[in-house]
Amino acid sequence: MKSGGGIILDNRLGGVLAVTRAFGDHALTRVGLIVTPHIVKYTVKPFDKYLVIASDGIWDELSDQDAVSLCQDDISTKQIALTIVKTALTRGSKDNISVIVLKFNGATGATF
């Protein structure tokens, strides 16, 4: 984004647009938005138990470790997701909030 002439304030383009909203927001290409996604492949390892996919409204308030700490084996993925949402709201999130929690069944070798 900087290479395209944009200004990054508070990890947002122009202090407004977060990366999770960038896809398809072509109106901001004139101020430096790059709409090509950054893609990373990851192969699930035997110790991986959960995948948390969330919008910036979650990540503005929770660290990766916070999310990991909320993933407990004795509760459902629905309850984990609800707890993540409530935690972000309690901490003051004012942005869009969406979260998906997937639990792996022990199978390894899948690539995301």
**pLDDT score at 102:** 93
Q: What are phi and psi of 20, to 5 degrees?
A: -65, -15
Number of domains in the chain: 2
Residue 39 lies in a domain: no
Alpha helices by DSSP H, listed for 24-63, are 56-59
Are 86 and 57 found together in one domain? yes
Residue 112 lies in a domain: no
Residue 68 lies in a domain: yes
- Residue numbers of the chain with a pLDDT score lower than 70: 1-6, 11-14, 16-26, 31, 33-38, 106-112
Residue 42 lies in a domain: no
**pLDDT score at 105:** 79
Residue 58 lies in a domain: yes
Are 23 and 60 found together in one domain? no
- The pTM (predicted TM-score) of the whole model is 0.69
Residue closest to 91 by CA, chosen among 62, 55, 112: 62
Name, in order, each residue with C-beta under 8 angstroms of 68's C-beta and a sequence gap of 6 or more. 50
Residue 17 lies in a domain: yes
Q: What are phi and psi of 99, to 5 degrees?
A: -150, 140
Range of the domain at 18: 2-31
**pLDDT score at 103:** 92
3-state SS assignment for residue 78? helix
